[in-house]
């Protein structure tokens, strides 16, 4: 079972609140086990934990991590690190390598990232070498490297489950013990 | 040549400024010809037009459109309409149909959309039936239905071009007549 974790750098509370929330929702949707936030923003944690408690699964969010320490520990445990930005090797040229990796940390910054992240990463990867939505970059990367169909995963222990429907909204409230 | 246009509904200036900008960047990156904004926000238009003028291509942005009128005209000209939300048919189950469509409007809302959009759309499509980033939904959908490799498109007449690099940033300034 492949392990993927997302590391979010450079998040500024207020300014990046919604984008970082979308990064977290996208990581959860596409099979990451959790998101490490290298800033202090308990509001983001609360928002995403609320999603997990209602919609299921085990996605975790860790507030205010030391990113260098997290990268160091991840690598020491055999993990690889892929930094997504506008400037790296184009994703199609490294997809196979990323896909074959059992333990992958995906790093995405906000507008500014510490320059040393380019050295710490095993891969610096561009998702198209064009102005960059970090949400789209995470989405496309995780979708392309997923094992199986990531959009058909089930999230265990959900309070709410959507029933796919051609028109309108169908949501089941699951009774739990 | 397939035509794809994005229609953004329910955008609230200020609150949705950055998410809508990311939706626009993502649509441009993945081959949409333009974005129709069903709200009045000249700031978004200016931001995205600035990206296009520096980074190339012909992506257009139309401010403050009447969404019903746009959908009606698109359909009258033979186009189809795909609304992305949390509640539709799961994307993997309609990808082939969407991909075979020559003229496709992708509609994404912000938190609230007018209920009639579910009736106006030819397809209501969920990108995973889970809490939803509209940026990720647009990214995954356009990536999956693209002809060829969307991340290797060239954008004509760019002032700036990124050279893919393993470390650091390499940007070429192109001289123009």
ipTM of the complex: 0.96
Query: H-helix or E-strand containing A27?
Result: helix A17-29
| Percent of residues, chain A, with pLDDT higher than 70 | 99
What token pair was written down for A56?
């299921």
**Strand bridging mode A171-173 / A160-162:** antiparallel
CA distances from A11 to A110, A111, B176 (A): 6, 9, 36
Asked if the Cβ–Cβ distance from B29 to A127 is below 8 Å, we say: yes
Q: So what's the pLDDT on residue B29?
A: 97
Across the interface, of A128, A135, A164, the residue whose CB is closest to B135 is: A135
**φ, ψ of residue A26 in degrees (nearest 5):** -70, -45
Interface of A with B in 27-56 (CB under 8 A): 28-30, 51, 55
Q: In whole angstroms, give the CA distance from residue A24 to residue A28.
A: 6
User: How do the domains of chain A map onto residue ranges?
Assistant: 3-173
Name the 3-class secondary structure at B105.
Answer: strand
Separation of alpha carbons B26 and B142, rounded Å = 9
- For residue range A124-174, list pLDDT tens digits in order: 999 999 998 999 999 999 999 999 999 999 999 999 999 998 988 889 999
pLDDT computed for residue B177 by the predictor: 56
pLDDT tens across B52-95, in order? 999 999 999 999 999 999 999 999 999 999 999 989 999 999 99
Class of domain A3-173: alpha beta
Segments of chain B with pLDDT less than 70: 176-177
Cβ contact (<8 Å) for A151 and B140?
Answer: yes
Instruction: Return the residue of B nearest to A54 by Cα.
Output: B131
Residues in chain A where the model's pLDDT stays below 50: none
B151 part of contact set with chain A, CB < 8 Å? yes
> What single DSSP character describes residue B92?
G
Among B134, B18, B48, B137, which residue's Cα sits nearest to residue A17?
A: B18
The A residues from 67 to 96 touching B (CB cutoff 8 Å) are 86-93
CA quadruple A8, B143, B5, B126: dihedral sign: negative
B124 touches chain A (CB under 8 A): yes
User: What are the phi and psi torsion angles at A147 (to 5°)?
Assistant: -85, 125
Q: With contact defined as beta carbons under 8 Å apart, do B141 and B94 qualify?
A: no
Q: Which two tokens stand for residue A12?
A: 């500024």
Closest CA to A114 of A40, A36, A27, A10: A10
* Interface subset of A 4-23, CB within 8 angstroms of B: 18-19, 22-23
Determine contact, residues B139/B22, Cβ cutoff 8 Å.
no
Residues of B in contact with A139 (CB under 8 A): 133, 135-136, 139-140, 143
Please identify which residue in the block is written with the tokens 């990323």. Answer: A98
The pLDDT, as a whole number, for residue B103 is 98
- Written as six digits, the tokens of B100 are 């075979």
* Alpha carbon distance A26, B133 (integer Å): 7
Strands A89-90 and A60-62, sheet pairing:
unpaired
């Amino acid at each position: 079972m492949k392990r993927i974790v997302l590391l979010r750098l450079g998040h500024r509370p207020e300014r990046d609140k919604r984008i970082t929330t979308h990064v977290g929702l996208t990581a959860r949707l596409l099979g990451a086990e959790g998101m490490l936030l290298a800033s202090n923003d308990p509001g983001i944690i609360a928002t995403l934990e609320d999603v997990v408690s209602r919609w299921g699964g085990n996605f975790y969010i860790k507030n205010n991590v030391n990113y260098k320490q997290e990268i160091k520990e991840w690598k020491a445990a055999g993990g690889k690190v892929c930094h997504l930005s506008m400037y790296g090797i184009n994703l199609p040229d490294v997809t196979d390598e990323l896909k074959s990796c059992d333990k992958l940390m995906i790093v995405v910054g906000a507008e500014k990232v510490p320059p040393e992240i380019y050295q710490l990463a095993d891969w610096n990867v561009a998702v198209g070498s064009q102005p960059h939505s970090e949400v789209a970059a995470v989405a496309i990367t995780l979708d392309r490297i997923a094992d199986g169909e990531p959009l058909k995963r089930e999230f265990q222990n959900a309070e709410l489950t959507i029933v796919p429907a051609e028109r309108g909204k169908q949501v089941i409230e699951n009774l739990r013990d």
